[in-house]
Structure formats: C-alpha cells, structure tokens
Amino acid sequence: MSRFDFAQGKVGNSWFLSAMSALTFQKNLMEQVVPMDQSFEDYAGIFHFRFWRFGKWVDVVIDDYLPTINKQFLSVYSKCGNEFWAPLLEKAYAKVCGSYADMRGGSSSDAFKDFTGGVYHCHNFAMDNAPSHEELWLTLNRATKCKSLICCVSWPEADKLANTGLLVGRYYSVTGITEVKLNDSKVRLVRVMNPCGTRGWSGKWSDKSDMWDKVEPEVRKMCFDRDDGEFWMEFEDFCSHFLKVTICSETPNFLDGDFKCQWKCMIYDGSWVAGISAGGKWNDPTFATNPQYRIQVSVIDKEEPGDKNVLVSLLQKPLQEHRRQMKIEDVLILIFKTPQGRLGSDFFKPNSFVEAPTHYRDFIEVIELYSLEPGEYVIVPFTCKPNITADFVLTVYTKADAKIRPCQ
C-alpha cells in the first residue's frame, strides 16, 4: 500500500482526499480504518472499513464496483492503475455520508473525527481571535511528535494566491516541519503535500528556489528526500497563504505537550427533548431543564498553575441520513462549580460559569478545554434555542481519574 499516489475524480472532495493522504503517514491509524485482514483468498467481492461514528467504531461493508461516467472514474483513482484501497475507502465513506454527492464540500475535521474518534483543533487565520503564529508553530511541533493528522486549506480568493502555484480553496496535507540553519539564524519550514497532483508552491524554498543553495548539503539532501506532490514552504509564507489548519490526534496531548499524560475518556449518549429537557441558553427561564453531568475533579498539576486538565466535546447526532441534509443546531457547553445534587433555575441565575463562551457554534462538534481546580462541577450542554429535539454524544477527557455521572 503506497502513501498516496492518486488523482481526484469528479466528486469534488479534496477535503476528504487530503485527510486520506494524512492518514497514510500514520500506520496504526491507517490499519484501524483499513483492516489488513482482507485478501483475495476466498474472495467474495466485498471489502470492509471501520469508522468512528458517534461514540463507537462501526464496520462499513461495500462491494467491489467503482462508479464511472463515460468510462472515467467518478471516484479517486490510482495514477499507476493497480491500487484500489483509496477509491474503495472513498466509496465506504460515501456510504456513511449517504452518497457521493453528499461528499461535495466539507471539512477535513469531519473525516479526521471518523478516522480516529479523537480530538481535533482548527486554527483559522481569518478569525479575529486566532492564535499567534508562534502558538501555531508550537502546536504543530507538538502535533508532529504525537503523530497527529494535519491538513490545511488555501484561501478561496484567487488574488491571495496569485503566482504562487497553490490552488484556490484546495485542501492539502501537512507532512512535516523542521528548522534549518541559514547564516546565523534559523528558518522554520513546513512540508505540505498536494494529494492529487505535482503542482505545488513556487515561492521561497520551493523545488527551484535558490534558498536551498544557502544551506548545508546534508540539510538540502534531507529535505529533498520526500514523496511526489510534497513541497516545502517557509512558515510565515504558510501562514499567509493558507486559511485554516486542522490537527487531529487520538488524545488531547498535542494541545499542551504533556506527552506522558494518559488522558481518561468517558462517553455519554444524551438528548434534548422539546418541552422536557431542551431548555435553551443560560438566560432562558428553562435553562435548568437541560441535561446536566456532574464531574468531580480531585487532582491538578500543582507544578503548572492554569494547566488544562479537562476537555469536553459535544457532538451532535443529526437524524438525517444524508450528510448534505443534516440539520446542525447552534450549541454550546457551559461548566459551573456547584454544590451537591441536581441544579435548579435558582442556582443558575446568580451563578457564573467557569469560562465564558465566545459565541454559539453551528458546528457538528464543539470542543472546549478547561483548567479546573479540585471540586464539584456540572457540565450543561445546550442549544441556542429552547424546545429543540436532538441527540448528542458528550465526551469528557480528564488528565486524572474523575467521577462523572448524569444528574437525574
């Protein structure tokens, strides 16, 4: 099985292909999604793949037919003509989404979640509160050490990418970072891969750039040992020409760099029911009817004040089978420090939450990272509007053992 040597079909899903490309660089994750127990002995014309769907791993079985239009592949296809794991994986994921048409337009974070069941982080350069370039570099450094999946998407405006060689609004995978010595300073470089072509960056540190003549021969040799479609960019150019970077790992370790920590994970299925447990936002009179989950935090890292020790994920479970028809609600998570027992409206009115959310998010998943002192807390997932009936999966990661239970 090669890393990635495929061409995009007619589906228009570079977000998924870049995620597949990133997956090939992590063998353990790859074998989790593409089981290696499939061979042509006793071949029955079927294949199976595994995806993490709403809190559990599911097997998706498909036949071996690949769609064509006028004798051309609709799906991704191998450039060498004799490798089929990628189009078969794409077909299995199309089945999960509802159809190939449902794969048009999307985000690599969706595929990352289904490939790993893990935690992802999106760095959007267009947001006013976007982290600094220095913070992103540190995050990328931690992410590569954690063997994370990393993708990026270029700006959708053509004028931002003029004469750069980059494609407009296209997803790429990030395959590495490094620092090289240039005269008396160090230059930060990012290795990027176009999963479906050889066209790449044409600026500084590109294949034909004279910048490579200014570094040691062994450094130049190391950097040119790469796959087709890969190219290097200076980190600042990377930050200027890409709109968003998405990083995903099985655990939250890449977020704080505590590689020795074994995060504990607990998953709960829940629902909002109109008129019963769909109380709306915190200043609605029915807010207290929302689902509540009590968590007892007993240990923190005393050597690192403000250490992030709890991560909460709220994943919506849309009722629609087809991805493009899914109705996504505006949702948020709030955490309150609490006394014992279920909390009523008399508690929420005068009490403030642990951290104020910035805005509602109409994403299928909302992720919040907290620094919680020892004590009792309650987690309240809620929708912006009251009386919305919907299902969700609440996942809580903690650095230390914690007691979590739904409040009745």
Give the active site residues. 194
Cα 253–259–260 angle (5° rounding)? 120
Beta bridge partners of 60: 49
DSSP sequence for 116-159:
HS-EEEEEETTSTTPPPHHHHHHHHHHHHHTT-EEEEEE-S-GG
Q: Which two tokens stand for residue 367?
A: 């992720």
> Can you say how many angstroms the Cα of residue 131 is from the centroid of all Cα atoms in its chain?
17
DSSP sequence for 354-371:
SS--SS-B-SSEEEEEE-
Distance separating alpha carbons of residues 124 and 244, to the nearest angstrom: 4
Distance separating alpha carbons of residues 353 and 315, to the nearest angstrom: 21
Q: Which two tokens stand for residue 317?
A: 């479970």
Residue 391 · residue 269 · CB < 8 Å: yes
Burial per residue of 242-257, b for 16 or more beta-carbon CB atoms within 10 angstroms, e otherwise = bbbbbbbbbbbbbbbe
Phi and psi torsions of 12, nearest 5°: 80, 50
Distance separating alpha carbons of residues 74 and 100, to the nearest angstrom: 9
